Chain A
């Protein structure tokens, strides 16, 4: 029997070796070819329909927009030859880059811009991204390389919207295979999409811009972070998405996008004990934000400076400081407001955002430490959303986490600062008036000024219990050289492989 066992062992080793040679031959780790492991597969490669992180991670390399964002966050001309001019308060004129072609040979002209906006706004298309473009009316062709885009009202977020709008080829977009055969103007074109297994992109040899270094990009889809990490350690993957802070020391290298996700607690400023601004300030002072950033997020989060927007978003006021951690003062304030030992309901959910439950529990513990009685309600996401958007009776305190792909304060302000916002808990008409004024102010400098007034007022009134900005982390293999930009997009043209 011993002989048999030995032979069996030898056979296993041989079989494994053979199979791994095959895997190598299949081209997992060759130079200038990289493998990116995402948490979810794209549901479609139509660039307009879904809100889908997997789709964006692929299509951001295939399609381009009129406006680009530099890694530092500035908006610059992309497919537009220069920044657009404002003809009148609601009409923007773009000059387009000449000589650009889609991967299938279709020329990039004003028709493509007109078609892209028309399709996005078409109710029959049922785009989930429509809310980003609800201010647009239409695009009009002036000549082949000039196009006017008309908005309903003066639109201060227009440039950010144009950065989010991918330009599609007018002919090919009408073909039934558009959702599986993406054709853009970008630095990469689709080689194959084997559903469930992989998407492969190759560098576009006719790209109008700087030629990318990485020649071939393969996307794999692995929903478990532990399994993605195993693949990174086994050198199957070069980049893995959504690395959690705990695993950072395991990953050979990391990429870090600061404060992309901003969690916050919204206290009810309309009724109950939290209607008193002193109580809301006390709730802020009671929480040790630094400890949450260090312990809960392993240092990969930064203390929010008293605003419910991230420092990388337009509208952020750098002169406002974070609420300090001062439990003694919090106690004093509560006593002064006659709310010492008051009961507070804190609503949260579990499993939707990074460490959502843990964050809520940590906050509850801090509030308890200053003498409040905290009733933590961790609800199913379904029930949680009902509470979050209940306009009739606001929850006394509710946790929410917010990311803003346009990196612009407008959306956050409309939803959570404005008294009529979907998730706001204040009745501050003055604040609402400021927000509305900012929305129609098209001079960026003046607009920023108004936003800063909004931020200062909300900070004084402590409408939010501000916490931390959470970094988005990527795990990188030793040979990868990549610093993700502020928007966290997977742009393969910015990546390099070192040997």
Chain B
């Protein structure tokens, strides 16, 4: 992790903001420039922004209560198909519930669970990683041994057992997923802390007699920002998929609550009569995860000079030879 303030890309500049307006402006302009250079990244960011807005404003945007059943309007196709009704743009499911409303509310669950897990696991893992990396010694040994052991756990199967026994609610789901996800943060943070402690300015700060917490917050954390943001984004994508998979297996979000995974599970029994029931929530999951991944890869490229090189360098010597 050879990342210092001077070599990191614009995002790293943006990270340790001290509130001066022209710096903020410059940083935003830098981000905009990066996004123009990376069309896929821009696409992902846009989709993600839309999703966040949809999730926040779900009750206002959704035309119906996502749980409202109407046996008379079962399995209506989307509005543009024969038999569709303009009252239900994306059709209705096997209980006559509005697919568009369910998909909109599903965004809430997916993003909320994702954010909560990332926040919980990220905080926990970062704190432990900082402790392990900064103080070393016995704390380091114990924490890293715990990480090693937990990494070797059959995580998803254990999650299945736990969710079978404690009734799955969004809360338990977040806790179980976070308990399986904190280790990566601890490893990453410890690594960065170890390497940045060796850098001159941290050594200098310690010699001058700064207190450990101050050293961590002033000098170590800024170095962590961009790798942590990249990791958290990737983990976010993974969690959205994991929540969908658990809900699909019937061990995640429970009816009458909604979740994209749950809707695919319910819709899979109707794939021949009502293809939209799996297609709509399935596409929503794929699009969400894809845009998160695009954003993650853009952040990584934008902040890591070596990655920038990989994108822009044409493989210098190699391309001259011809494959």
Contacts and interface: CB of A to CB of B under 8 A. Distances in A.
Chain B at the A interface: SS class: loop
Given A247-B273, A358-B95, A226 B71 contact: no
A229 B269 CA distance: 8
B273 A250 contact: yes
B225 interface: no
Given A246-B94, A358-B95, A295 B72 contact: yes
A322 B268 CA distance: 36
Contacts of B269: 224-226, 229, 244, 246-247
B320 to A, nearest CB: 20
B273 A226 contact: no
Contacts of A249: 273
Interface residues of A, number: 18
B94 A233 contact: no
A225 B273 CA distance: 14
B272 A362 contact: no
Interface string B254-297: 01000000000000111111000000000000000000000000
Interface in A226-248: 226, 229-230, 233, 244, 246-247
Nearest to B95: A358
Interface string A345-387: 0000010000000100110000000000000000010000000
A296 interface: yes
Interface in A291-316: 295-296
B252 to A, nearest CB: 15
B85 interface: no
Contacts of A296: 71
Contacts of A250: 272-273
Contact of B268 (A226, A350, A380): A226
B69 interface: yes
Interface string A199-241: 0000000000000000000000000111001100100000000
Interface in B168-218: none
B69 A361 contact: yes
A233 B272 contact: yes
Interface in B69-101: 69, 71-72, 75, 94-95
Nearest to B270: A246
Interface string A83-102: 00000000000000000000
Contacts of B271: 226, 230
A245 B75 CA distance: 13
A37 to B, nearest CB: 15
A228 B189 CA distance: 48
Contacts of A246: 75, 94, 269-270, 273
A224 B268 contact: yes
Contacts of B94: 246
B278 to A, nearest CB: 9
A358 B69 CA distance: 10
A233 B71 CA distance: 27
Contacts of A229: 269, 272
Given A246-B94, A358-B95, A226 B270 contact: yes
A69 B270 CA distance: 36
Contacts of A362: 71
A183 B268 CA distance: 39
Point out which of B71, B167, B255 has the most chain A C-beta atoms below 10 A from its C-beta: B71
A104 to B, nearest CB: 42
Contacts of B71: 295-296, 362
Nearest to A298: B74
A296 B72 CA distance: 10
A296 B96 CA distance: 11
Given A244-B269, A358-B95, A380-B167, 19 more contacts: A224-B268, A226-B269, A226-B270, A230-B271, A230-B272, A233-B272, A246-B94, A246-B269, A246-B273, A247-B269, A247-B272, A247-B273, A250-B272, A250-B273, A295-B71, A295-B72, A296-B71, A361-B69, A362-B71
18 contacts: A224-B269, A226-B269, A226-B270, A226-B271, A229-B269, A229-B272, A230-B272, A233-B272, A244-B269, A246-B75, A246-B94, A246-B270, A246-B273, A247-B269, A247-B273, A249-B273, A358-B69, A380-B167
Interface of A: 224-226, 229-230, 233, 244, 246-247, 249-250, 295-296, 350, 358, 361-362, 380
Interface of B: 69, 71-72, 75, 94-95, 167, 255, 268-273
For the complex of A and B, the 4 pairs showing the least CB-CB separation, nearest first, are A226-B269, A295-B71, A226-B268, A250-B272
